[in-house]
């Protein structure tokens, strides 16, 4: 089982425009879709579509619209009571796929909700293969909350994945000596920030086929105790680095429609392959197949297994212990 924790969940509202966004103008909306969201919720949604046992853990009031949306989605979840309403995040999608995101900060968690959330995570971890800690932290949770959670989970026998950014990511990195996760999933900007590199240079090099700067950056984190680093690089694909080697996966050609949730789908794909017993190159292949499939879908839609193009993902060993396994559905 995979436990996907979202401390700051959301209703993800996607507004699709029929013309480019014009600041200060009045425009007609072509479509509006609301989905239960937050990074961990997205991971749980994608895994559930694939038939992988997963549960989302999150704070929300019993009558919150997010709870209703989750009940209708078929995604198993465990709710921790919270007083504040769940935030609404807005994504504006233009005809060429350009996405503008407006994310609310989220409601504050009081001390009782904070303690209940931690207790629920530790309880769920008892029967879990993986615990995923994803997304931003709401007001009321300290910046080092993820670091503390990883340290507590390390005694529960599960593996731990973290996907976050900004101050919570910095605080986690500062505590790698006591709280290094089994998997860290940064994008280029987040990876660069952790090793004092330039994100634009990392992305530019990867786009030209030079993965050495990304691998060197990820290797620094592995050397500090992180089990594996899955660095997502947008259209350039992703790089996986662990103690056994490094691999690059490039995506199949797609027509991008929305990048919202693509990183979460990539993480779900990696975990799906991992619990299925796949070796690292095949985990990376599945991750990139999921991320590219999500980017080809509108709004915050997440792909199911039938929408993946595993054969279209090219995996290249950079310094491997393993060689890529044949693609499988």
Please tell me the predicted confidence (pLDDT) of residue 255. 83
- Among 133, 162, 191, the domain-final residue is 162
Query: Which pLDDT score, from 0 to 100, does residue 207 have?
Result: 82
DSSP strand pairing (130-134 vs 159-163): parallel
Which residue segment(s) compose the domain that 124 sits in? Answer: 1-21+30-162
- My answer on whether 104 and 197 are in the same domain is no
The set of residues, in sequence order, having a beta carbon less than 8 Å from that of 119 and lying 6+ positions away, is none
Residues of the chain with pLDDT under 70: 320-329
Provide the annotated active-site residues: 264
315 and 190, same structural domain? yes
Q: Are residues 206 and 137 in the same domain?
A: no
Residues 55, 151 share a domain: yes
Phi-psi region of 223 (alpha: psi -120 to 50; beta: other; left: phi over 0): alpha
For residue 192, tell me if it sits in a domain.
yes
pLDDT of residue 299: 74
pTM of the model: 0.92
> Do 279 and 146 share a domain, yes or no?
no
| 231 plus 149 within the same structural domain | no
pLDDT of 248-266, one tens digit each?
999 998 888 777 889 999 9
CATH of the domain at 222: 3.40.1190.20
Distance CA 307, CA 328 (A): 13
Report the length, in residues, of the chain.
Answer: 329
Question: Do 141 and 201 lie in a common domain?
Answer: no
| Residue that terminates a domain, selected from 134, 162, 190 | 162
- Where does a domain end: 162, 191, 225? 162
Task: Note whether 98 and 19 are within 8 A (CB).
Answer: no
How many domains in the chain?
2
> How many whole angstroms separate alpha carbon 258 and alpha carbon 298?
5
DSSP state of 135: S
How confident is the model over 257-300, as pLDDT tens digits? 777 889 999 999 999 999 999 999 999 999 999 999 998 887 77
Is 175 part of any domain? no
Q: Which of 76, 59, 156, 185 is nearest to 110 (CA)?
A: 59
Tell me, yes or no, whether 67 lies in a domain: yes
Q: What per-residue confidence (pLDDT) applies to 320?
A: 53
Radius of gyration of the chain (CA): 19
Looking at residue 297, what is its pLDDT?
A: 87
- Same-domain pairing of 195 and 321: yes
Question: Domain for residue 173, yes or no?
Answer: no
């Amino acid at each position: 089982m995979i436990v996907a924790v979202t401390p700051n969940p959301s209703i993800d509202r996607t507004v699709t425009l029929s013309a480019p966004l014009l600041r200060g103008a009045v425009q007609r909306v072509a479509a509006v879709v609301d989905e239960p969201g937050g990074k961990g919720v997205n991971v749980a949604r994608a895994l559930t579509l694939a038939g992988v046992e997963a549960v989302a853990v999150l704070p929300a009031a019993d009558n919150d619209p997010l709870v209703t949306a989750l009940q209708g989605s078929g995604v198993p979840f465990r709710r921790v009571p919270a007083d504040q309403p769940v935030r609404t995040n807005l994504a504006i999608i233009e005809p060429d796929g350009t996405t503008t995101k407006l994310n609310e900060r989220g409601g504050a968690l009081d001390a009782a909700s904070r303690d209940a959330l931690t207790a629920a995570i530790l309880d769920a971890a008892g029967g879990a293969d993986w615990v995923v800690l994803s997304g931003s932290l709401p007001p009321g949770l300290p910046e080092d909350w993820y670091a503390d959670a990883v340290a507590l989970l390390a005694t529960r026998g599960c593996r731990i994945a973290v996907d976050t950014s900004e101050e919570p990511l910095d605080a986690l990195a500062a505590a790698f000596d006591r709280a290094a996760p089994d998997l860290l999933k940064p994008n280029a900007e987040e990876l660069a920030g952790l090793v004092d590199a330039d994100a634009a240079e990392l992305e530019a090099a990867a786009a030209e086929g030079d993965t050495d700067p990304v691998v060197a950056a990820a290797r620094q984190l592995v050397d500090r105790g992180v089990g594996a680093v899955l660095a997502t690089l947008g259209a350039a694909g992703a790089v996986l680095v662990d103690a056994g080697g490094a691999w690059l996966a490039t995506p199949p050609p797609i027509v991008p429609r929305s990048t919202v949730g693509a990183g979460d789908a990539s993480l779900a794909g990696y975990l799906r392959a991992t619990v299925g017993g796949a070796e690292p190159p095949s985990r990376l292949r599945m991750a990139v197949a999921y991320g590219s499939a999500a980017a080809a879908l509108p709004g915050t839609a997440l792909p199911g297994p039938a929408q993946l193009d595993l054969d279209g993902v090219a995996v290249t060993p950079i310094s491997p212990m393993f060689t890529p396994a044949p693609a499988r559905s």
